[in-house]
A and B are shown apart, each in its own frame.
Chain A
């Protein structure tokens, strides 16, 4: 049976370029970059090279603005903590964010609220977008930080980051963006986009797991999450994950270089998939269709539950994900779907398919047939669907 991996927002398959880039740093250039001897200095040289290349790929002014981390979550935590500490010293304890951020951001903000900060969570509307005007209106003299994700991990909507960044800069407020889903998928340039702090994760763009970047614009002072040695200019202790960093750097350069080719190709497949799934009655796409990641397809189908949908799709070789409670590991369905106004019962029937640069038209057509079959199969045994069809329950999605 064929396997179609359509869960690239969860993680991606590593590219051969990235794998090959890592290998020499396991058994040949294996030194500790902090060591003074030649073996260590060879490693330091590679680390410096990687930092320069990552800075260039992100459009950063200086390699010193790049801090290597263990991934997106650590970068999010450190960015927000650093900005909050800076704010607190100036008596500014207000933060602006949105209701549908990643939990690495939301849970950090919840902790800060317990520590005396106030957080405004902006409405993301039914289309999953915030506006620069909303940000501008929410900024007060007490605001120290705005943190808004570049692109949403579940519904793929892309925020007007450049414009939001401009609003923040004008107001003298730090601007952080969780760009974990955006980097390597759409053009991101920290200077042109007016970004002060940015988080990214390598495994979302065909790099290795366990490595990421925190970009911090010159002048933005980072505070440590991890104390110890003087690595990363003293801002992130721990011997550098050099194989991971080299793999990430190669994957990033490759993904960015291929954007002109991969973006339109993936967007066309995405739109084909959306059009195919839109034929299923009482289902609807989640999030704006225009401002959307090239590989993201997200739907809600009435009368069914997402986990059973995923299991049956897996039986047909399609790997997908859902925002239902049973798949989120909590009792509530995805906070993202609730934030765009999907009622609980509809959010339970969600399906996310995220494509990559190797997805083919045949894959997409196979997925469409598989989803249609499975949705019908589950609806045929669903008392909710029976009630909806009998008019005893109102459809939310016409």
Chain B
């Protein structure tokens, strides 16, 4: 199908880092089943680095590919770098997404950030709130 780039199809067909981390240091879940996509990110953090990351996604091809790519981009990175992940970086790494699928990359960024915030909260680490803007409201169902 020409809907997606080869990169997107590769990450969709062979998603990297699928699964669960039972003793995760941080877990983030964004999206809504009503809207058709939910992403859940599990982080294991060691020495201020993303030691391991796993994801589970309910959603379309680009949602699964965006989750997979986002986990690849932060794996092994220092926490400070992982926090800088943007949806544009995910989209570019996937060689682009169709315009109506860009929200999938936004969800991926938000899922990673939600997991990081959860890590800080669980471990009593102080952080700058402005790093974690509230996840955008779903324009569609108002959730």
Contact = CB atoms under 8 A, between A and B. Distances in A.
Interface in B71-103: 100-101
Interface string A306-337: 11100110110000000011100101110000
Interface stretch (A71-79, A257-265, A381-389): A381-389
A345 interface: yes
Given A308-B12, A315-B13, A331-B140, A382 B57 contact: yes
B36 A326 contact: yes
A311 B36 contact: no
Given A305-B36, A315-B13, A344-B33, A385 B140 contact: no
Contact of B61 (A307, A332, A380): A307
Given A332-B140, A381-B15, A308 B38 contact: no
Given A333-B36, A344-B34, A383 B12 contact: no
Contacts of B37: 305
Interface in B105-143: 139-141
A383 B61 contact: no
A315 B18 CA distance: 20
B36 A383 contact: no
7 contacts: A305-B37, A307-B61, A308-B63, A312-B13, A326-B61, A329-B100, A382-B57
Interface of A: 303-308, 311-312, 314-315, 324-326, 329, 331-333, 343-345, 348, 380-386, 393
A167 B105 CA distance: 53
A96 to B, nearest CB: 30
B38 A384 contact: yes
Contacts of B61: 307-308, 311, 326
Which are the 3 A-B pairs with shortest beta-carbon distances? Answer: A307-B60, A345-B33, A326-B60
A314 B39 CA distance: 24
B36 to A, nearest CB: 4
Contacts of B33: 344-345, 348, 384, 393
Nearest to B100: A329
B100 A384 contact: no
Nearest to B139: A331
A384 B40 CA distance: 10
B56 A386 contact: yes
A383 B140 contact: no
Nearest to A385: B58
